Amino acid sequence: MTGTSEKVQTELRKQDFYFELPQELIAQDPLEDRSSSRLLVLERHTGAMSHHVFREVTDFLCPGDCLVLNNTKVIPARLLGEREGTGAHVEVLLLKRRLGDIWETLVKPGKKCRPGARLSFGNGLLKAEILETVEEGNRLIRFEYQGIFEEVLDALGEMPLPPYITHKLQDKNRYQTVYARYEGSAAAPTAGLHFTRKLLDEIEAKGVSVVYVTLHVGLGTFRPVKEENVLEHHMHSEFFQVPEETASVINDVRARGGRVICVGTTSCRTIESAADETGMVQPGSGDTEIFIYPGYRFKVLDGLITNFHLPESTLVMLVSALAGRERVLNAYHEAIRERYRFFSFGDAMLIL
């Protein structure tokens, strides 16, 4: 699915979304108290900014608003093993279940792992055969095991943390939202990591509707934009689902003049993919390749809670589509001056 634009663009330069980020501002560990992260609030029409603690997000939500969260659950998708016959080290990252025990994966090192190669994990508790090479050099792999795949994966797999996080996570659950429900993601919808059950209860008690969608986050969301002209970048497809109740609540809130505020770019991409041209959200499921960048006209979303993203990433481009590139970059420069923590385990931003 694609978005709508107010005018046909032919070029958007990647370098226009670049900013200098000091390495020490990349958060390596999550805070013990999820809701104690910092929160930069950006008024998207004026560029005005203010600084808060995340739990104060309730002050900016009004009775009659709707908060949309992505309840996907990250699977321990990183497997470390060896090639049968040679014992050579191999790393497999599960991206998407294709059919039964066949998965699309990212394999390192890829050159030696050709179709027909066999792999072993956990002293043979899990075995695999590489079937074929597909788009982007990914591999289709068929797994072999005794028992239940999810239990084997839980025992052997590691959380697939982004490469800028340099050490292993002590508590797997800290890379899950407190409302994670449906397994299938290769990465967390990180804006949701700031919420506690207590905070969600407070938000609902204020008269804000809290609803859920599912989008299984693939690595395509985080894939670097290689093309200088952003419009030539292709997003990988990701599975999404919008329950009937969620669509109904969102449509009712909009009809009454309430605001729809998404938690994370994945929730945003889901409801924008599920909406028709009039802005009515349709229940159902499917795959989306929606790429949102400046010039996109939002059909549903009024506000966004999000983390601070990588320079030149599709996520910075999405945020810039909502608040304007210059305002977003100004906010990022302000966050750097104020020593905010960046990326997955970092601080948050509310754009209204």
pLDDT in tens, 242-289: 999 999 999 999 999 999 999 999 999 999 999 999 999 999 999 999
Q: What pLDDT does residue 3 have?
A: 47
Sign of the dihedral defined by the CA atoms of residues 241, 243, 249, 252, in that order: positive
CB 122 within 8 A of CB 153: no
Q: What is the pTM of this model?
A: 0.91
Per-residue pLDDT, averaged over 187-208, amounts to 97
Average pLDDT value for the chain: 93
Is pLDDT of 60 > 50? yes
Give the pLDDT of residue 179: 98
pLDDT-derived band of residue 145, with 50, 70 and 90 as boundaries?
very high
The residue length of the chain stands at 352
Within a 10 A sphere around the Cβ of 76, how many other Cβ atoms?
Answer: 18
The two tokens of residue 8 are 């046909």
Which residues, in sequence order, are bridge partners of residue 106?
A: 93
Q: Can you spell out the DSSP letters for 178-239?
A: TT--EEEESS--GGGGG--HHHHHHHHHTT-EEEEEEE---GGGG----SSBGGG--PPPEE
- When pLDDT is averaged across residues 122-126 and rounded to a whole number, the result is 96
User: Does the pLDDT value for residue 18 go beyond 90?
Assistant: yes
Amino acid at 220: G
pLDDT score recorded for residue 96: 85
Tokens standing for residue 280: 């009515």
Instruction: Give the residue among 161, 197, 155 at the shortest CA–CA distance from 29.
Output: 161
User: Are the C-beta atoms of 123 and 156 separated by less than 8 Å?
Assistant: no
CA distance 328 to 243: 32
Per-residue pLDDT tens digits for 133-142: 997 788 999 9
Picking from 59-73, 224-238, 251-265, 331-345, which range would have the lowest pLDDT averaged per residue?
224-238
- Average pLDDT of span 29-52: 96
Average pLDDT over residues 61-75: 97
- Closest to 265 in 3D by CA, of 238, 227, 234: 238
Which has the higher per-residue pLDDT, 250 or 1?
250
Mean pLDDT (whole number) for 3-15: 69
